[in-house]
Structure 1
């Protein structure tokens, strides 16, 4: 029998992720806050759009979510019209939202009362990774829930790892964002210095990318940073949301993140410049405006 899957949240990530599941031959139902987006998806992929979360999750063996933040998760999961109240007992609930570990633990406890498994499974790889089915997925949950969910996640991932109990996926995503924040600021300063030193910046990147300075950010973002093009990728607004989560968790566990806190402030400057929807690599624009 065909596996029935519901996907909640059809943003730049969720839209292609749900598409990969549909193209794999699964019976996919979708819901999005803007129903027209769900209808658009159903015209592009084999699957069905629903107007309510409750209807969309009826009879689903798996429910995937990829929404904005904690408040959005609470809205779609809890209450009499939410996922937990309307999905079947024994269903596997897999959340790909980048959110707090606290909300993951809260939803897992609520799902457990209905014998539903919950996995927090934030993702990395951006829109391009989602479209190509090459995401990195960081999971928190039980071994049995992970083993059940992994074959589905594999349809849009290149790496899927169970890191520990519920909340571990979100905490690992925090590690990911902390590392990226420092890398992007360092790359921005390096390219800015090269510009000010009147070097051929493209040649400089070509040389240093063959050595210890090489990174995903350098390989995939340096050209657009040099060109001053930022209308793509992961938005500054979303990065600030993620870094806020990181800093709050750091305070909770008594971890010191001075560089992360500073870069978060720098992203605030980029927002003030009008770059709320620019890619995170736009940190270099702040440096260009300073001098």
Structure 2
């Protein structure tokens, strides 16, 4: 990424930042912060991944989230789930224990709205700020610095974080109070789930009908059926290729959050619940790490 980085960074004052979690998303996100000129300290549960990051980018690694967060203006985080988030934020070795009053914690984990509200309250009690900021755009978006970030929290904390976060984002938008970012990410995943199932059925139907589906996708992709999924996944679905992109396991985690929230707020999500079960079928086929477009495998 560092040698062929296509990103043009907005000029902004260098800040002291930390990044917790160097997975497929966090590793390049933290890299963009370093390339944009910020002073970056990273933490990862696996020290080997942290060393790999410091070998590639200018920055330092810390042994605990607390050490990484000490003296930092902004602490960014991207981990696996609610429990992982609590583990790096709370407790004696957690980031909150190391952060200075007025510092901002920005969480990019796709987690529950409840944990966002919980950590917002815990941060506020310590004189810290918390922004829930899940992302859309997948691994490619992280690598290219073109993520869409949906935020919940206070306006002042958001404004502090925004110019720095634009190192890895193309949009960084405040949508309301704590938890609003996570709720917006749920809306995103609901929309994608139904769309990918529709695209799967369309392609499988066309193949059964004997059509040249790549040609068909080129044609209908210029009309009302066009979507990001069609443009970026349609032809790979025709080719039966799924060894890339956003994994089925991750989508099921996200849809679990969606369905739990729907139980609380009374939203009716019949298609989403059905597609979640279709993804369970894909897992049974051995597709836990296949791209989410592998829904079509059920239909072949």
* TM-score higher than 0.5: yes
After superposition, the C-alpha distances for 1:18-38 in whole angstroms (9 at most, x for unaligned) are 001000111000011111000
Q: Cα offset for 1:114?
A: 1.2
Query: Is 1:134 equivalent to 2:146 in the alignment?
Result: yes
Query: Is 1:214 equivalent to 2:226 in the alignment?
Result: yes
After superposition, the C-alpha distances for 1:148-177 in whole angstroms (9 at most, x for unaligned) are 110011111111110000100000000000
Q: Which of the numbers 73, 78, 93 marks the counterpart of 1:81? A: 93
Instruction: Give the corresponding residue for 1:238.
Output: 250
Query: Is 1:64 equivalent to 2:50 in the alignment?
Result: no
List structure 1 segments (4+ residues) > 4 angstroms apart after TM superposition.
none
Instruction: Give the corresponding residue for 1:40.
Output: 52
Q: Secondary structure at the match of 2:268?
A: coil
Query: Is 1:92 equivalent to 2:100 in the alignment?
Result: no
Query: Is 1:270 equivalent to 2:268 in the alignment?
Result: no
Q: Normalization by structure 2: what TM-score?
A: 0.95
Whole-Å separation in 1 of the counterparts to 2:281 and 2:291: 14
Query: Is 1:107 equivalent to 2:110 in the alignment?
Result: no
Q: Which of the numbers 18, 23, 37 marks the counterpart of 1:25? A: 37
Q: Cα offset for 1:2?
A: 4.3
Q: CA RMSD in A?
A: 0.8
CA contact (8 A) 2:119 2:130 kept: yes
Instruction: Give the corresponding residue for 2:167.
Output: 155
Q: Cα offset for 1:88?
A: 1.2
Q: Cα offset for 1:65?
A: 0.3
Q: Cα offset for 1:80?
A: 1.1
Q: Cα offset for 1:4?
A: 0.8
Instruction: Give the corresponding residue for 2:201.
Output: 189
Whole-Å separation in 1 of the counterparts to 2:125 and 2:65: 19
CA contact (8 A) 2:66 2:96 kept: no
Whole-Å separation in 2 of the counterparts to 1:51 and 1:161: 32
Instruction: Give the corresponding residue for 1:51.
Output: 63
Whole-Å separation in 1 of the counterparts to 2:127 and 2:35: 29
After superposition, the C-alpha distances for 1:221-243 in whole angstroms (9 at most, x for unaligned) are 01111111111000000000000
CA contact (8 A) 1:90 1:114 kept: no
CA contact (8 A) 2:80 2:110 kept: yes
